[in-house]
Amino acid sequence: MKRSAVSLIGQDLTIEQFHETAFFDVKEVPAYHKIGENFHPIPNKKCILREDNDQYLSTVGANFSIIDNKHYFNAVIKTLGESAISYKPKQAWIEDNGTTNMIVELPDFKMFKGTDEEQYGEARFSNYFNAMGKAKAILGSVRLICTNGMTAFTQDFKMNMTHKGDIEQKTKDAVELYLDIDNVFKDTESFITQLGNTYANKDKVAAYIGDGTFTAQSLLTGERWTKKIYTEWQQVNETVCLWNLYNMFTEIFSHRYGSNYSSKQRKQEQLNREVYKWKSLLC
């Protein structure tokens, strides 16, 4: 299990709104640089523009292969559909550099239904039109943290594709991995249950959290956070349950750390790695 993102619940989209936002065409044009009053071609480079409005997205190498949003998204959804897995559009947005983000709910998959820990399935897609990013697809679960709409996303499966080589074949090969989604969710549910049933040594947790002036944990450091982590632990009755401890950090990242999605996501990814150490470190 990897807790990989924190976000606000958004308003559901119609399928038409979803397609209109997420599915846009791009094109390749030669890259030039200006010397004086003249433009000169840049060897082995090309530019990526939006087809509809000629918005510049990036300059990439000659071997860069475009992964089309519509083809990429539909290829994954088709495979989910062949496994009789339904989906419901949730959100879609485009960043300034053309990065497209798409979120769909997977209503067939729920964990701990009817409890405070209820989680529902979700698929998140990101496609980059530059050489630094990859096309990504993440399957996971979303849990409501509080009534103001803050959620934590649990990453169960992730696929990355670089923008090089045979994109058609890469997509076909990669989406086959989604066919085991049912077992993936069962494994995650089992791991969360294990965390909930594991209680650490209180002295070791106390040393890890610190006394407000010093802390051994590396997730949140500095004088301000050292004191805050200690205060938060006091407010959750000095919990030694690993799942409650995990949720304590998740709640801090969601509500009080950083001001944007990226900073929160980085902290959640750091927590992902840390949680696997807790059993040997704290128990």
Confidence of residue 146 (pLDDT cuts 50, 70, 90): very low
pLDDT for the residue 234: 92
Higher pLDDT, 265 or 200: 200
pLDDT for the residue 209: 94
Confidence of residue 151 (pLDDT cuts 50, 70, 90): very low
Of 106, 166, 164, 96, which Cα lies nearest the Cα of 137? 106
CB 46 within 8 A of CB 124: no
pLDDT for the residue 168: 58
**10/129 Cα distance (integer angstroms):** 25
Rounded to two decimals, what is the model's pTM? 0.56
CA angle 12, 17, 21 (to 5 degrees): 110
Confidence of residue 199 (pLDDT cuts 50, 70, 90): very high
CB 31 within 8 A of CB 42: yes
Confidence of residue 170 (pLDDT cuts 50, 70, 90): low
- The torsion angles phi and psi of 175, rounded to 5 degrees, stand at -65, -20
List alpha helices for the chain, DSSP H. Answer: 15-22, 69-82, 167-175, 181-196, 202-209, 223-235, 242-255, 261-282
Average pLDDT value over all residues in the chain: 76
Residue 82 pLDDT > 50? yes
CB 269 within 8 A of CB 4: yes
Mean pLDDT of 39-49: 91
Confidence of residue 143 (pLDDT cuts 50, 70, 90): low
pLDDT for the residue 204: 94
Of 99, 101, 96, which Cα lies nearest the Cα of 138? 101
pLDDT for the residue 135: 74
* Candidate ranges 54-68, 183-197, 250-264; pick with highest mean pLDDT: 54-68
Burial class, 66, CB count within 10 angstroms (exposed 0-12 / middle 13-18 / buried 19+): middle
> What residues contact 38, with CB distance under 8 A and at least 6 apart?
none
pLDDT for the residue 24: 84
> What residues contact 67, with CB distance under 8 A and at least 6 apart?
127, 135, 161, 163, 167, 171
pLDDT for the residue 3: 31
Higher pLDDT, 209 or 86: 209
Burial 4-42 (b: 16+ CB within 10 A, else e): bbbbeeeeebeeeebbebbbbebeeeebeeeeeeeeeee
144 bridge partner residues: 151
Name the percent of the chain lying above pLDDT 90. Answer: 14
Higher pLDDT, 184 or 250: 250
Residue 178 pLDDT > 60? no
224-272 pLDDT per residue, tens: 899 989 999 999 899 999 988 988 888 787 777 765 656 776 787 788 7
Residues counted in the chain: 283
pLDDT for the residue 91: 79
> What residues contact 251, with CB distance under 8 A and at least 6 apart?
145, 146, 232
pLDDT for the residue 73: 73
Confidence of residue 150 (pLDDT cuts 50, 70, 90): very low
Q: Show me where the domains of the chain are located.
A: 2-21+69-179, 24-61, 198-282
